[in-house]
């Protein structure tokens, strides 16, 4: 397999942009891999592609699956041309953003042969690189076109990947052929008969017509650019497919005179006018391809793939007539086809060639049958997809509607880096892309004081008019305590737009500012069909008298119910004779009654229930039922709607399925699982919660969704996700999930908890799950959260100003205590936790492990025991998270340590495994916490596992450039600690490990020269010898963490370290430092 070497003599302007904007030709009708609309206007032009990043971003915009992971991508070279090399790759793994399952073991990998400079990164601005980028662009756009994606005679594009080299060259991944036409014809492994060559000839003609219909010219049609694949039919054993398309006719239109001169093609296979260098029009370019097709027919059927010696018609006819092995039927059809194709006059050549080899032979009949079967299978697959949409989720899961606001994958932008992507492509990025970047950055920058980049991304999404970004921007600014504030009118305008589109957060915030405006926003939301617009929007603009259903199976009943049009619904109901017609379901499993609930139209619900509609019928969306949307009705209609739906067989405690997650375009970007009460709690609708509880809803029913998916306090993380989703775990047993009280506690919904306490009929509300977690243990649950598709974001960024956060937390703790919650209760011991020392956790301990200073403070004020120990004898202060933990925010570790100390935390206690609070702070690598504990009286003479804690701290300073926190100011911090320590009165400094090592050995090893001076002045023995003693012969059995520090005197250690640096051409110590 080789690739074309065609070049074109005109300058490239905005060719690809022209292609991308031509809907009838190369634009992607399938809307890309994620089903959402794509911003094809954002495609970069060829001239603006300067880096590999630019190319990758364009691949993402085009919706090409990737980056794909290839095992042994360059297993065997299949061919090489002037611009590309093609290899056989091994075992393709689909990336998480692929829209289809890949089950093939071998693929073809197409690698551009870019000119790579000796130094620096790949530059796409050179003429040759520009040509290659052009060809890649055109091939991708063509192969992603719906007309070619499933064409029997066009090679299939699987996706793109990255060559794992310094230059990270992008590569295309294609289906793997048996070989090109030349290889198959020449190989003794394939018995190619005249019947097969006839069928391959027909394949080539159909593929050629397919690209010509999309105004694509091949430009270099020859046997090397035709790939042959095996087929299941013994009568049609092979299928030919075209590859390497060369030129779009739109490029001809962009030339100044609507014509182009082609050069660099394969002379043996091109038309005479190409050789002469003639300037060709659009139709002439297509007919030049057809001339090449005539030469291919002659070569394939009579010359075993060799190029004809001459290109005149007489020569071709003579070859056909003298070929004795040709069947009469094939000879006849060639004799008719070649005079048409090999005409010197381009005007006499046919424009279409797919039927030129058609005859009544058995070969053609078999080919026709195979083609028909192929299309039947394809249509059957499509019909099956449609049929699957009418199945319950429990059987054949349906693909839900994808709203344009859905957050897209960020793979391509993570490849470049989110900040660089924002700076370089901001004008081209869409609102959802920018908002997704903000969400992920809010997580990755949680530990960073500077929030300017995060806010820039959010404001860029707002600037694009993205409504979900408008809904949260004021909250985020308050949460980050930023000085800038939005004008009051702007805030109200943003909140009104967001509340009008269903944002629960915006509705609450707007109600606090302007209740009347909030009511108007809810009214507008219902006028716009409520949540129907996110799950199953209505597609018909008008409903005529003869209207039956739309493409989604919505009837007149569905339309009028969703629109809240009681009058027209009543008129339609008069014509309904069969009660079963009331409950007709659309492709999403929604009945008219369900759609009325999605809108929140009590008038339509009342009418449908009176006529006998069934409220128990689940939708295909996880089995969600009508009552789950009870919160969506206005407060004065909730009780009436609940009564009507219950009397229509609605189950007040009906559970929907826990998976997959139901997406929400608005914060918190996912709907809950569970019962109608779970949904009402999620929405914060007190009227709905009260009504449900008074009718017997049970607040302790659990939703079955896994709350410990990424909780290292409970499980080890075995599933390695993407940069967006992170690591996760698999439960050992089916999880019980959250009950409504857990959810309310996690949301810090004190009003909800009080409503449940006063209205629930259940005697015991503070119940625990299989891990021993009660609602009290959920207070720190929402830290690192995830959207329905797994994108991580920082939940506290949406909580608002700190005073409100503290007030809500305080009242939530009070509510939990009034419900009988034990503030000091320990959870069960987890089976396989990722962290040490977590065998039983109190709510305060969980807050410490999550670096949740606000919750820890409120718990301590409310009576939490600061010295409560768990089954590992660990107290809260011994459970500090490492400084690199994503939950650690600026100053959170120090603030936690200080507040725990202020409430009397013991600083010199020990756990069962010998850990002390100081040891925990050193393990967390937080120097501020270490100094705070020392100032509070932590004993520096203590050792853990045979090594003194201060020696361990100094040993860690040896790796100061690798981490942050403990090693930001290693010299100054340790000097300060040693200065405060009376070294002369601390005999333990002379022996800090089991190998007779003194503190002097450790500061020398760490290169802390000022500390060396302090210790020498204090009288430490410079000649003391440290000798490593291993147990047996296995160094791994040595218990100290400094087991691999060199032995000898402190000077020996310094000289050894300096010799290592000198061996690398460096000095370890300056001349001044060497004096010590």
Average pLDDT (481-489) is 90
Which residue(s) pair with 89 in the sheet? 107
Residue-level pLDDT at 597:
98
pTM: 0.80
By the 8 A CB rule, do 658 and 396 touch? Answer: no
Domain closes at, from 314, 349, 372: 372
Question: How high is the mean pLDDT of the chain?
Answer: 84
Q: Do 207 and 165 fall within a single domain?
A: no
The Cα–Cα gap between 597 and 54 comes to 46
Q: Is the pLDDT of residue 688 over 90?
A: yes
The Cα–Cα gap between 536 and 539 comes to 9
Q: Is the pLDDT of residue 276 over 70?
A: yes
Average pLDDT (727-744) is 95
Q: Is the pLDDT of residue 495 over 80?
A: yes
Reference 358, options 152, 128, 198; nearest CA is: 198
Q: Do 334 and 201 fall within a single domain?
A: yes
Q: Is the pLDDT of residue 409 over 90?
A: no
> Which of these ranges, 268-282, 300-314, 330-344, 645-659, has the smallest mean pLDDT?
268-282
Higher pLDDT, 14 or 653: 653
Reference 7, options 150, 134, 190; nearest CA is: 134
Domain closes at, from 479, 504, 527: 527
Higher pLDDT, 810 or 130: 810
Q: Strand locations in 575-702, DSSP E?
A: 662-663, 670-671
Q: Is the pLDDT of residue 539 over 60?
A: yes
Helix axis angle for 127-143 and 52-61, nearest 10°, is 10
Reference 488, options 503, 509, 468; nearest CA is: 509
The Cα–Cα gap between 1055 and 494 comes to 66
946 falls within a domain = yes
CA 174 to chain centre: 23
The Cα–Cα gap between 1065 and 247 comes to 55
91 falls within a domain = yes
Torsion of CA 480, 481, 487, 492, to 10 degrees: 60
Residue-level pLDDT at 382:
55
- Per-residue pLDDT band for 384 (boundaries 50, 70, 90) equals low
Domain closes at, from 372, 403, 427: 372
By the 8 A CB rule, do 26 and 248 touch? Answer: yes
Q: Do 469 and 436 fall within a single domain?
A: yes
* CATH value at residue 297: 1.10.510.10
Residue-level pLDDT at 257:
47
The Cα–Cα gap between 666 and 499 comes to 10
918 falls within a domain = no
The tokens for 676 are 């109608």
Total count of domains within the chain? 4
Question: What 3-state DSSP class applies to 493?
Answer: helix
The Cα–Cα gap between 620 and 392 comes to 5
Q: Is the pLDDT of residue 95 over 50?
A: no
Residue-level pLDDT at 956:
81
Residue-level pLDDT at 394:
34
Q: Which of 215-219, 807-811, 1028-1032 is predicted most confidently?
A: 807-811
Residue-level pLDDT at 393:
33
Residue 582 DSSP one-character state: G
Reference 723, options 99, 158, 97, 165; nearest CA is: 97
Condensed to tens digits (0 to 9), the pLDDT of residues 972-982 reads 888 889 888 88
Q: Do 351 and 202 fall within a single domain?
A: yes
Q: Is the pLDDT of residue 159 over 60?
A: yes
Average pLDDT (81-100) is 55
Q: Which domain holds residue 353?
A: 193-242+273-372
Average pLDDT (555-570) is 95
Higher pLDDT, 949 or 61: 949
The Cα–Cα gap between 626 and 988 comes to 72
CA-CA distances (angstroms) from residue 999 to 114, 383, 582, 982? 57, 76, 84, 13
Q: Do 163 and 199 fall within a single domain?
A: no
- Percent composition of the chain: helix, strand, coil (DSSP 3-state, to 5): 45, 10, 45
Residue-level pLDDT at 1009:
86
From the CB of residue 167, how many other CB atoms can be counted at a distance below 10 Å? 15
Q: Which of 175-189, 412-426, 659-673 is predicted most confidently?
A: 659-673
- Per-residue pLDDT band for 275 (boundaries 50, 70, 90) equals confident
Q: Do 171 and 208 fall within a single domain?
A: no
Q: Is the pLDDT of residue 1061 over 50?
A: yes
The Cα–Cα gap between 81 and 597 comes to 62
Q: Do 50 and 139 fall within a single domain?
A: yes
Average pLDDT (591-603) is 97
- Per-residue pLDDT band for 215 (boundaries 50, 70, 90) equals confident
Which residue(s) pair with 656 in the sheet? 674
590 falls within a domain = no
Q: Do 954 and 1014 fall within a single domain?
A: yes
Residue-level pLDDT at 886:
86
Q: What are phi and psi of 1041, to 5 degrees?
A: -75, -10
Q: Is the pLDDT of residue 497 over 70?
A: yes
The tokens for 242 are 């075209």
- Residue in this structure with the two tokens 């025991």, named with its chain if needed: 865
Average pLDDT (432-450) is 94
29 falls within a domain = yes
DSSP letters of 399-458? PPP--TTSPPP-HHHHHH-HHHHHHHHTTTS-HHHHHHHHHHHHHHTTT-S--HHHHHHH
Q: Do 97 and 202 fall within a single domain?
A: no
DSSP letters of 738-777? --HHHHHHHTT-HHHHHHHHHH---S------TT---GGG
* Pairing status of strand 170-175 against strand 157-162: antiparallel
> Which of these ranges, 544-553, 684-693, 860-869, has the smallest mean pLDDT?
544-553
Residue 160 DSSP one-character state: E
* CATH value at residue 24: 3.30.200.20
- Per-residue pLDDT band for 101 (boundaries 50, 70, 90) equals very low
Average pLDDT (933-937) is 95
Residue-level pLDDT at 117:
61
By the 8 A CB rule, do 281 and 258 touch? Answer: yes
Residue-level pLDDT at 1042:
53
284 falls within a domain = yes
> Which of these ranges, 538-552, 783-797, 918-932, 964-978, has the smallest mean pLDDT?
964-978
Condensed to tens digits (0 to 9), the pLDDT of residues 39-73 reads 555 566 655 666 667 777 777 777 788 777 666 55
Higher pLDDT, 100 or 1015: 1015
Which residue(s) pair with 12 in the sheet? none
Q: Do 504 and 439 fall within a single domain?
A: yes
Q: Do 339 and 443 fall within a single domain?
A: no
> Which of these ranges, 209-223, 457-471, 611-625, 1054-1068, has the smallest mean pLDDT?
1054-1068
Average pLDDT (990-1007) is 90
Average pLDDT (1054-1073) is 61
Q: Is the pLDDT of residue 2 over 80?
A: no
- Residue in this structure with the two tokens 């009227």, named with its chain if needed: 687
- Per-residue pLDDT band for 250 (boundaries 50, 70, 90) equals very low
465 falls within a domain = yes
> Which of these ranges, 246-250, 276-280, 471-475, 718-722, has the smallest mean pLDDT?
246-250
- Per-residue pLDDT band for 493 (boundaries 50, 70, 90) equals very high
From the CB of residue 110, how many other CB atoms can be counted at a distance below 10 Å? 24
Q: Do 124 and 226 fall within a single domain?
A: no
- Per-residue pLDDT band for 558 (boundaries 50, 70, 90) equals very high
- Per-residue pLDDT band for 1030 (boundaries 50, 70, 90) equals low
Residue-level pLDDT at 50:
66
Q: Is the pLDDT of residue 5 over 50?
A: no
806 falls within a domain = no
């Amino acid at each position: 397999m080789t690739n074309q070497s065609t070049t074109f003599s005109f300058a490239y302007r905005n060719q690809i942009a022209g292609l991308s904007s031509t809907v009838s030709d190369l634009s992607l009708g399938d809307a890309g891999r994620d089903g959402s609309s794509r911003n094809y206007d954002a495609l970069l032009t060829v001239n603006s592609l300067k880096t590999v990043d630019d190319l990758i971003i364009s691949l993402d915009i085009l919706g090409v699956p990737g980056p794909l992971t290839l095992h042994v991508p360059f297993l065997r070279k299949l061919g090489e041309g002037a611009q590309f090399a093609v290899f056989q790759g091994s075992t393709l793994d689909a990336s998480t953003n692929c829209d289809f399952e890949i089950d093939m073991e071998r693929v073809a990998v197409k690698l551009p042969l870019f000119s790579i400079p000796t130094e620096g990164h790949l530059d796409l601005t050179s003429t040759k690189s520009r040509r290659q980028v052009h060809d890649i662009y055109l091939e991708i756009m063509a192969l992603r076109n719906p007309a070619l994606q499933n064409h029997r005679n066009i090679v299939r594009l699987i996706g793109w990947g990255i060559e794992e080299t310094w230059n990270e060259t992008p590569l295309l991944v294609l289906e793997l052929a048996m070989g090109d036409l030349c290889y198959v014809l020449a190989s003794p492994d394939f018995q190619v008969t005249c019947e097969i060559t006839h069928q391959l000839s027909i394949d080539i003609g159909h593929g050629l017509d397919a690209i010509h219909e999309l105004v694509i010219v091949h430009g270099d049609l020859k046997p090397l650019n035709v790939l042959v694949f095996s087929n299941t039919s013994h009568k049609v054993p092979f299928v030919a497919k075209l590859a390497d398309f060369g030129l779009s006719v739109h490029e001809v239109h962009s030339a100044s005179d609507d014509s182009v001169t082609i050069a660099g093609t394969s002379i043996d296979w091109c038309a005479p006018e190409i050789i002469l260098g003639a300037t060709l029009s659009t139709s002439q370019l297509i007919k030049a391809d057809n001339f090449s097709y005539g030469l291919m027919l002659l070569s394939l059927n009579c010359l075993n793939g060799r190029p004809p010696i001459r290109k005149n018609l007489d020569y071709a006819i003579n070859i056909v007539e003298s070929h004795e092995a040709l069947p009469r039927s094939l000879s006849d059809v060639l004799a008719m086809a070649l005079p048409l194709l090999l005409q010197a006059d381009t005007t006499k050549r046919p424009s279409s060639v797919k039927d030129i080899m058609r005859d009544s032979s058995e070969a053609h009949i078999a080919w026709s049958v195979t083609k028909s079967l192929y299309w039947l299978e394809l249509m059957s697959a499509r019909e099956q997809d449609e049929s699957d949409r009418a199945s319950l989720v429990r059987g054949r899961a349906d693909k839900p509607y994808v709203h344009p606001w859905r957050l897209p994958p960020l793979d391509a932008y993570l490849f470049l880096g989110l900040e660089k992507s924002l700076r370089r492509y901001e004008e081209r990025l869409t609102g959802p892309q920018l908002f997704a970047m903000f969400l992920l950055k809010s997580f990755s920058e949680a530990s960073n004081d500077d929030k300017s980049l995060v806010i820039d991304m959010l404001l860029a999404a707002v600037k694009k008019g993205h409504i979900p970004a408008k809904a949260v921007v004021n909250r985020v600014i308050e949460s980050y305590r930023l000085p800038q504030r939005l004008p009051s009118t702007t805030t109200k305008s943003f909140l009104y737009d967001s509340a009008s589109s269903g944002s629960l957060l915006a509705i609450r915030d707007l109600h606090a500012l302007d209740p009347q405006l909030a009511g108007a926003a809810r009214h507008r939301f219902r006028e716009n069909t409520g949540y129907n617009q996110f799950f199953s929007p209505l597609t018909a603009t008008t409903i005529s008298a003869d209207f039956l259903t739309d493409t989604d199976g919505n009837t007149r009943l569905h339309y009028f119910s969703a629109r809240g049009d009681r009058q027209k619904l009543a008129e339609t109901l008069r014509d309904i004779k069969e009660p079963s017609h009331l409950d007709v379901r659309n492709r999403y499993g929604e009945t008219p009654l369900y759609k009325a609930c999605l809108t929140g139209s009590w008038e339509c619900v009342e009418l449908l229930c009176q006529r006998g509609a069934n409220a128990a019928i689940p939708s295909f969306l996880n089995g969600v039922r009508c009552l789950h949307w009870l919160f969506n009705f206005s407060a004065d209609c909730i009780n009436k709607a609940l009564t009507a739906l219950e009397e229509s067989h609605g189950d007040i405690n009906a559970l929907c399925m826990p998976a997959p997650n139901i997406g929400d375009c608005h914060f918190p970007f996912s709907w809950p699982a569970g019962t109608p009460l779970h949904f009402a709690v999620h929405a914060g609708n007190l009227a709905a919660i009260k009504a449900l509880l008074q009718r017997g809803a049970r607040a302790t029913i659990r939703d079955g969704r896994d709350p410990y998916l990424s909780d290292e306090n409970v499980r080890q993380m075995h599933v390695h996700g993407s940069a967006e989703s992170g690591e996760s775990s698999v439960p050992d047993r089916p999880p019980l999930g959250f009950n409504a009280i857990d959810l309310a506690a996690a949301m810090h919904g004190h009003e909800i908890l009080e409503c449940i306490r006063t209205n629930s009929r259940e005697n015991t509300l503070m119940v625990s799950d299989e891990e021993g977690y009660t609602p009290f243990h959920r207070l720190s649950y929402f830290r690192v959260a995830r959207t329905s598709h797994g994108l991580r974001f920082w939940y506290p960024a949406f909580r608002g100003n700190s005073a409100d956060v503290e007030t809500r937390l305080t009242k939530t703790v009070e509510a939990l205590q009034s419900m009988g919650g034990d503030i000091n209760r320990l959870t069960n011991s987890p089976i396989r936790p990722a962290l040490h020392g977590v065998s039983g956790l109190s709510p305060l301990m969980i807050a410490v492990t999550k670096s949740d200073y606000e919750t820890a403070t409120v718990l301590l004020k409310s009576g939490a025991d600061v010295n409560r120990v768990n089954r590992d004898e660990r107290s809260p202060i011994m459970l500090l998270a490492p400084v690199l933990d994503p939950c650690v925010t600026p100053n959170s570790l120090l603030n936690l340590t200080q507040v725990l100390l202020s409430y009397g935390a013991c600083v010199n206690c020990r756990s069962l495994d010998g850990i002390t609070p100081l040891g925990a702070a050193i393990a967390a690598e937080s120097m501020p916490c270490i100094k705070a504990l020392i100032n509070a009286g932590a004993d520096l003479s203590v050792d853990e596992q045979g090594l003194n804690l201060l020696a361990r701290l100094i040993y860690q300073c040896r790796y100061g450039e690798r981490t942050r926190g403990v090693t930001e100011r290693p010299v100054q911090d340790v000097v300060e600690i040693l200065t405060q320590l009376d070294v002369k009165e601390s005999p333990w400094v002379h022996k800090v490990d089991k190998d007779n090592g003194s503190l002097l050995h450790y500061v020398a090893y760490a290169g802390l020269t000022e500390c060396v001076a302090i210790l020498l002045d204090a009288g430490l023995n410079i000649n003391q010898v440290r000798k490593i003693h291993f147990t047996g012969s296995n160094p791994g059995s040595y218990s100290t963490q400094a087991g691999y520090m060199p032995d000898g005197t402190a000077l020996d250690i310094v000289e050894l370290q300096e010799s290592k640096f000198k061996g690398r051409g460096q000095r370890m110590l300056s001349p001044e430092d060497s004096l010590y």
